[in-house]
Amino acid sequence: MIIGVPKEIKDHESRVGVVPSGVAALTEAGHEVIVQSGAGVLSSIPDHIYARAGATVVDSAAEVWNSADMVVKVKEPQTSEYEFLRKDLVLFTYLHLAPLPELTEKLVEGGTTSVAYETIREKDGSLPLLTPMSEVAGRMAIQVGAQYLEKPNGGRGILLGGIPGVRPPTLSLSAAASWGSTRPRWE
């Protein structure tokens, strides 16, 4: 089987569908892997690392899509990729089709066999391909929350880790009561 990895083109997407260790595992299992040049750049994976892992690096997305039996992506196909959807193609990616009726229609029209990461379940009902995403989101929540606590972002200038020798702020219930329950005051 020829497995293709195109560069992601969705705005703000920096991940890549297959990392070099995945390329090595796929080629060791007898598959051919083709990777679009630059597909891993935003994930800090240069082309030569893919080549060393056993992938053939090609110049264009069209070459990946048109040569592959299966395309592995991170995000759903974008409008400019609809032309590559076809009957003899297996697409393996996050799809989230509910808000994308046009994409759903294009996949059906093209006859593309589509496997959405978010629909894969273990026997116990768990979602193994969503678990890592949930873990990352949980860890990112702390970082994003910390950014919103910074003064330049409209926060109160609170440092989550605290400052040695400085007592952390505490909520005064009497102050909160005097302001009403929706606007507590820190003392």
Q: Which of 25, 62, 55 is nearest to 40 (CA)?
A: 55
Instruction: Tell me what pLDDT residue 76 has.
Output: 97
Q: Is residue 164 a contact partner of residue 170, using CB atoms and an 8 Å limit?
A: no
Architecture of domain 2-119: 3-Layer(aba) Sandwich (3.40)
What CA–CA distance (Å, rounded) separates 7 from 153?
Answer: 33
- Identify which has the larger pLDDT, 146 or 10: 10
Instruction: Provide the pairing of β-strand 70-72 with 2-5.
Output: parallel
Residue ranges per domain, the chain? 2-119, 131-179
The pLDDT of residue 137: 87
> What phi-psi label fits residue 104: left (phi over 0), alpha (psi between -120 and 50 degrees) or beta?
alpha
The pTM assigned to this predicted structure is 0.78
The first and second tokens of residue 177, run together, are 């009561």
Over the stretch 98-118, which tens digit does the pLDDT of each residue have?
999 999 999 999 999 999 999
Give the DSSP letter of residue 39: T
Determine the average pLDDT of the residues in 22-30: 98
- The whole-angstrom distance between residue 122's C-alpha and the CA centroid of its chain comes to 21
pLDDT in tens, 39-81: 999 999 999 999 999 999 999 999 999 999 999 999 999 999 9
- Statement: residue 10 has pLDDT above 60: yes
